[in-house]
Chain A
């Protein structure tokens, strides 16, 4: 078992193999061969997906029932794929760690889902959705994938409506749309503030229908703990039944990971408590490259931390910034005063001051960074947690004066209620307090155009892959991508792979199976026998603080190097000193968390190395060394227009960086400006 005995210090020695002049990550990684072929079809961009679907081989319906598919995760990407592949007649096994597939965290998405229906006749089109998504991703996504996403977006709406998803409608009975995330067309379909819930329930019901039909077997409260790679192909998983503790082997012809994002590496995020990287990380350790792990989206309008007991953060819709004004006191001495008693001249409406033309509506990353800066200066408001007040005011007093209380309540009533419930304060009377929080990760396992990872037979969908959002995700695009992958992309690309199956059966005594089982059992045994003095949560919280401080909204060479050392030291201590009580033969939530936190340590380190290598600011990644004189993000297309695909080289070994160049044929790269 590969657990660290010592902390290896990394020296910055020049390997002489690097192609960039400014590579801060020298000494932390090994340069590898570039990725030349991501299997994207050639030809005009609008025809690529049709061509790929035609080229992908078919599987005879009679053969489908002989082919087995494992799907890990039942969010939008997993449930939609399981239902669709079950309908097609394959043998599907689906796994989730929750007590029901309906709990997956897609359910918490509020805003909506984009689709290029052009129902408003406002100039929208597949090409415009494609363009907006590539631009929103700061030209760090793969154009063929994004075009396909825009193309199938319209089918998603048709499918969901047919399932009975109760989207918002107009009085004529047709679907309503709104504009979202700073785009100029209205293409977002929604179900009040609970679009994710309604879409997930639609996919869940389609999944339950297949379970009833016998095409899909559902394993709830089961957690994937290892991938089985036999003879170069992904052939199954090792899962733990979280109720009985039984370690199970599940074999199949192909494995799909739809296991979501890893925002919980920051401990506090808007993710669910159980969201974790283990399925993806175990696959990474078995040979699946991890792409752009440093691309994290931080959302500016979340409810601030109220104390060290805080377990998670809650997002409030960004639409609040349309009418709320963001400010902090000019003087530190005013920070603990009642904000209503701070006179106008002593308030700093810092976004309006720094960005006069966009003001409070600057993009997410700029608003987030500015909030952190004023709090780091000591001008934050709200309760002091670990010595700092992390909050800024979002004030509706002007809006209430201008529009009246009723109009404000009509627009934002449900958000105000949620805020009041969590904070105990009345936002109609006292300014809201907000602070940024980690919300989504654009990075994930590297996949080719077919959504296949670098392990043959391992496909990755939804937030777990890296493919469509580049360095930043547009609002209302996560739901679109999850369902596009599951309903309309994977079912076509996976059949080309399965056309070569069924593959030679492997038994539970295959060396690859035994090795995977053994490593799982040893890990569990280790956590239960350390008998140290610190809880898993205390380590997780400390790791989260390191990540937030040094690999959060603003990253610098010094900070990232410091973070890597801190993470390695903490990880070492974790393995020696963690305290997990109970047994493995029953429900044991501390044991579950220990495995997840162990993987977060390794991921966190890779995120820092990735951020160190990318000495540019793009999308959700801001490097202090790469900004304009005005403090805006500065991209370097000449040096960094590539996907960073990292290969695992072993614990305490330098990961290998494979670069995939991003080539744009249908779109021109541009630098953004919000002044």
Chain B
């Protein structure tokens, strides 16, 4: 395959960025999208041009480190992570535009790399159960209904990649937050801190500059782990309940 790549290049956090155009021949349909960029980078290195910076680590769809806007879609045309997208999803001669996640809360570090530290800070605000090592009761002392455990697992599969934010016209991280609030809210272990958790996480979310949710659903459509939209309903419900409780 032959491709024309239009790639966002930005040398640093405060530098001006611009789209650069590159030609790439001999792309195999069996390459992953990131392997295609590896090939481009080898070519650039040979030509004396600095390679394009982009994030990736596990390259098996689970660590959440990779994430690109590909032709305007978060993670590209398939429901998967960028690292699991393969070139057979594109056609010979195609022009592909590649940009970093776009959100005020995810500032660009370089080229296609962004800073997603805001997600860590939302978890710091309450996305945990306060249990010190060694103080846990016997695992079987608290049964959990299988349906609750299964649903908790399903929403806990969020990989924190940020595609939901990148896809959202408002730049909201409600799907990310809703997934965590729902996961811990379904389990007995998550109950004691349930009210404070949602209040503090939402406050941190707003403080970071993420936008509000207006139920568009672009987040869940872009989510490589298919986290359902109703976690946001749960988030709002938990928030209402906490406020009613006087938080």
Contact = CB atoms under 8 A, between A and B. Distances in A.
- Real complex partners, A and B? yes
A209 B128 CA distance: 7
A11 interface: no
A439 B110 CA distance: 32
Contact of B144 (A101, A169, A582): A169
Contacts of B48: 581
Contact of A311 (B13, B38, B46, B160): B38
A581 B189 contact: no
A208 interface: yes
Interface string B149-176: 1101100110110000000000000000
B21 interface: no
A264 to B, nearest CB: 12
Interface residues of A, number: 79
Contacts of B88: 424
B42 A194 contact: no
A198 B45 contact: no
Nearest to B60: A314
A103 B124 contact: no
A424 B89 CA distance: 10
Given A169-B149, A205-B123, A422-B84, A309 B136 contact: no
B63 A108 contact: yes
A159 B46 contact: no
Interface stretch (B27-35, B69-77, B90-98): B27-35
Interface string A90-131: 000000001111111101100000000101000000000000
Interface string A171-214: 11111000000000000000110100110010011101101100
B212 interface: no
B137 to A, nearest CB: 7
B216 to A, nearest CB: 26
Interface string B119-141: 11001110111111111111110
B113 interface: yes
B109 A587 contact: yes
B86 interface: yes
A296 to B, nearest CB: 20
Contacts of B123: 204-205, 208
Contacts of B149: 166-169, 173
Given A172-B143, A309-B28, A311-B32, A488 B133 contact: yes
Interface of A: 80, 83-84, 87, 98-105, 107-108, 117, 119, 155, 157-159, 161-164, 166-175, 191-192, 194, 197-198, 201, 204-206, 208-209, 211-212, 218, 220, 243, 270, 272-274, 306-307, 309-312, 314, 383, 421-424, 487-488, 491, 535, 537-538, 579, 581-582, 586-587, 589-590
Interface of B: 11-13, 28-32, 34-36, 38-39, 42, 45-46, 48-51, 53, 55-60, 62-65, 80, 84, 86, 88, 109-110, 113, 115-117, 119-120, 123-125, 127-140, 142-146, 149-150, 152-153, 156-157, 159-160, 183-184, 187, 189-190
